[in-house]
Amino acid sequence: MHQQRRNLIIFLLFFLIVFCANTTNYSASWHFDDYPNIVDNPRIHVNDFKLKKFKEALFAGFNEGQYSGRQLYRPIPMLTFALNWYIGKDNVFGYHIVNNTIHLLTTIFLFLTVLNLLMSPNLKGKYQGNEYAIAFLTAILWAVNPIQTQAVTYIVQRMASLAAMFYIIGIYLYLKARLFPSHNKRLLFVTGCLLSFALALGSKQNTVTFPIALAVIEILFFQDLSDKNTRRKVTIALTIVGITMATIFLILYIEGYITNILKVYEKRTFTLGQRLMTESRIVIYYLSQIFYPIASRLSFVHDIKISTSLFKPWTTIPAILTIISLLSIGFSQVIKRPIVALAIFFFFMNHIIESTAIPLELVFEHRNYLPTFFLFLPISIGLIYLIEYFKKKNSLIHILLVVFITGIIFSFCVGTIVRNKAWATEKTLWEDCIAKAPDMARPYHNLANFHYQKAGEMKKAMVLYETALTKKYVNSNRWHSLTFNNMAVILYEYGDYKNSIKYFNKALEIKPDYLNALKNITRLYVRTGEFSKALDSTDRLLAKRKKSSDFLQLKGFVLLTAGRIDEAIPILKTALDIDQKNIKANLYMGVALSLKGDYKKADTFLEQAYSLSPEDIFVRFARIENSVRSGNKDNVEILLKNLSESFDKDTIISSLRRLDENNIIAPLSQTILASAININLTDITSSVSGVKNLDSACFEKR
């Protein structure tokens, strides 16, 4: 009972400290990868509590504007995002509540894991009476460290935090299985451990290191390495593991997986060798951030100079030597100080996936969330030892040490609060990045894209895009093309179609298979009436992905707008055969059949489009127009009543304005709809102040 009460008090302390430290993150806005993964991801947008809908969320992967729904993609966090969406749609508060709760649970299980680790055979009795203090200090120093803000406050990085939570739960259950005397309960703990590993893998693939982590813990804390026979068995086991891993690598190489990974380097601004050298410096920089985590050293974007040789920059060799030295210390302390060995091995082992050969972006602070679990354990042991030592000597130094530790925890909390303020809005985040990495292009591009362009401040956005083009890109081909694409969208909004086409083509010159730019230029060619060029663009898209329902419906739309209805219908049918829930394909098929005079069949497709997207006003317009064409006055009245109940007059008028000749939304009749809705055409065609074109929302930016 005493132990349970003590645990409860500690858990309440964790709750108060962790949630207070993150008190400024509950209203932090969406950022960067939040948009394609959550905000703009249709498979996450669950509106009905149906199993089928949540099952779709498990296949919610995003790739260059496409949500194919064919591949399982980090299903556990995606499922939680779907639940969040069902409860609160795009309100960030609920997402932050979940993220902070995951962080709290991870902190609690880190505490419990350390507590059980200190009771393992190789440590039992060594820290008698201080286990709780050590475990608490380890967990709280990890939890409130400001470097963790990127994994906690950046909503999409629930993938990283959830994976880490299941990882530490798995380790905890493994320790319980090893320490518990009952065979039946051991089996239960082992089952839970395996399930945790599966859930961790289902959250993020970097947790593949979990079995290695268990092996390290088993060797360090449960095997008597002073015994010669044990050392021989461990050596044999490690040799088998090494051979197995080498065999797996060889199989992956033969099957072409390694070659495919290495091909990605062609799109990067660094080679494999340069990445490995650079990452050695980055990992050491991570360590400096962890132990000196002031807000001015933390950023979403870092300007990292690429190591082109062991001597350029000169810090490359010292970084490599530091890593070798730390690993050497780890090996030297395996028997005497296994906790030191664990802290070192665990940190580097869990940076292997994201900080070595795989050609990911060079640096992200959230990558430290999992590797830092045990970094503060040896430090906590040292601090608690000093407190006990000076306490026995009746020295006031132990009080000063307690004050010092409290001050560190408090300063970490303040640092977390300050750092979270940078995550408040898109503007604050990217301005913070510009201040800390002024020579990098990404913050200028993203400040333009995610803040000024969304706010309609196009001139400021254009200036920032132009500035971005003069800066350094982490991926020159991809990011230059993104910037040109977004500039083209702005030029389109101002009606400068000639220069808009020019910039879309610039994006495509840099990256010929840039799908969003191809889709955008297709719509622009429709706007200018250049249908043959629009069809050429759709053919380029389909050459890339022949069975893309989205690309097929786009081609069908071009043909439909060009008046080639008989050619459009079979294309749209193919699109719907691939994906019956393609909203636009249903809409365009309904419009095509209505124009052919098959009103009843048209209504079937338009009703399907409406059921999939009841908030889409253009689907409602299509249903009204079809009923007008068919002469079904009763249905027109019902549909008009529903329209007026769902949208105000200003929204209806502004939407009708977008339906002019060669519009890029749907080939609907502005005249028929205006007459049916009883709105004067002069209201619709009146000029819109500020921006010439209102249909630019159809264009895709990133």
Per-residue pLDDT tens for 429-439?
A: 999 999 999 99
pLDDT at residue 389 tops 50? yes
Q: What CA–CA distance (Å, rounded) separates 508 from 183?
A: 64
Q: What CA–CA distance (Å, rounded) separates 445 from 432?
A: 13
**Sign of the torsion formed by the C-alpha atoms of 521, 523, 526 and 531:** positive
Q: What CA–CA distance (Å, rounded) separates 139 from 346?
A: 15
* 160 C-beta neighbours (distance < 10 Å), count: 26
CATH superfamily of 475-698: Tetratricopeptide repeat domain (1.25.40.10)
**Predicted local distance difference test score (pLDDT) of residue 685:** 47
Per residue in 242-289, pLDDT (tens digit) is 888 888 878 877 877 778 888 888 878 889 999 999 999 999 999 999
Show the tokens assigned to 173.
């259950």
Per residue in 27-39, pLDDT (tens digit) is 999 999 999 999 9
630: left (phi over 0), alpha (psi -120 to 50) or beta: alpha
The arithmetic mean of pLDDT across residues 560-573, rounded, is 95
Tell how far CA 339 is from the center of its chain: 33
Buried b (16+ CB within 10 A) or exposed e, 117-130: bbbbebeeeebeeb
**Predicted local distance difference test score (pLDDT) of residue 184:** 81
**Residue matched to tokens 């935090």:** 161
Maximum pairwise Cα distance, the chain = 98
Strand partners, 63: 66
In this structure, the dihedral spanned by the alpha carbons of residues 24, 29, 33 and 34, taken in order and rounded to 10 degrees, is 100
| C-alpha R_g of the chain | 29
- Burial of 540 per CB tally in 10 Å (0-12, 13-18, 19+): middle
The arithmetic mean of pLDDT across residues 569-574, rounded, is 96
The arithmetic mean of pLDDT across residues 442-461, rounded, is 95
DSSP label at 475? S
In the chain, % of residues over pLDDT 90:
70
Per residue in 168-213, pLDDT (tens digit) is 999 999 999 999 888 788 999 999 999 999 999 999 999 999 999 9
What's the full length of the chain, in residues? 702
* 171 C-beta neighbours (distance < 10 Å), count: 26
The arithmetic mean of pLDDT across residues 324-337, rounded, is 96
Q: What CA–CA distance (Å, rounded) separates 411 from 414?
A: 5
Confidence grade of residue 523 (pLDDT, cut at 50, 70, 90): very high
pLDDT at residue 659 tops 80? no
**Predicted local distance difference test score (pLDDT) of residue 234:** 84
Tell how far CA 11 is from the center of its chain: 29
31: left (phi over 0), alpha (psi -120 to 50) or beta: beta
The domain locations on the chain are: 2-30+90-225+268-413, 475-698
Asked if residues 486 and 444 have their Cβ atoms less than 8 Å apart, the reply is no
Nearest residue to 552 via CA among 564, 530, 570: 570
Nearest residue to 173 via CA among 190, 187, 156, 149: 190
**Residue matched to tokens 């959250």:** 203
| Average pLDDT of the chain, as a whole number | 91
Nearest residue to 213 via CA among 161, 249, 169, 158: 169
**Predicted local distance difference test score (pLDDT) of residue 687:** 36
Q: CA distances (Å), 491 to each of 122, 464, 486, 517, 660, in order?
A: 68, 14, 9, 14, 19
**Predicted local distance difference test score (pLDDT) of residue 68:** 62
Q: Can you tell me whether residue 297 is helix, strand or coil? A: helix
Confidence grade of residue 290 (pLDDT, cut at 50, 70, 90): very high
Amino acid at 220: L
The arithmetic mean of pLDDT across residues 668-696, rounded, is 60
DSSP label at 472? B
157-166, 218-227, 507-516, 572-581: range with highest mean pLDDT: 157-166
In the chain, % of residues over pLDDT 70:
94
Question: Could you tell me what percentage of the chain is helix, strand and coil, using 3-state DSSP and rounding each to the nearest 5?
Answer: 70, 0, 30
Nearest residue to 590 via CA among 576, 651, 236, 112: 576
pLDDT at residue 686 tops 70? no
Concatenated DSSP letters of 226-288: TSHHHHHHHHHHHHHHHHHHHHHHHHHHHTTHHHHHHHGGGGSSS-HHHHHHHHHHHHHHHHH
pLDDT at residue 661 tops 60? no
pTM for the full predicted model: 0.90
H or E stretch at 513: none
Per residue in 130-171, pLDDT (tens digit) is 999 999 999 999 999 999 999 999 999 999 999 999 999 999
**Predicted local distance difference test score (pLDDT) of residue 491:** 95
Confidence grade of residue 1 (pLDDT, cut at 50, 70, 90): low
Confidence grade of residue 581 (pLDDT, cut at 50, 70, 90): confident
Q: What CA–CA distance (Å, rounded) separates 558 from 301?
A: 40
111: left (phi over 0), alpha (psi -120 to 50) or beta: alpha
DSSP label at 42? T
Q: What CA–CA distance (Å, rounded) separates 405 from 397?
A: 12
**Residue matched to tokens 């008046």:** 563
Q: Could you tell me which residues come within 8 angstroms of residue 77 by beta carbon, excluding any fewer than 6 positions away?
A: 158, 159, 162, 163, 203, 204
Show the tokens assigned to 572.
């749209």
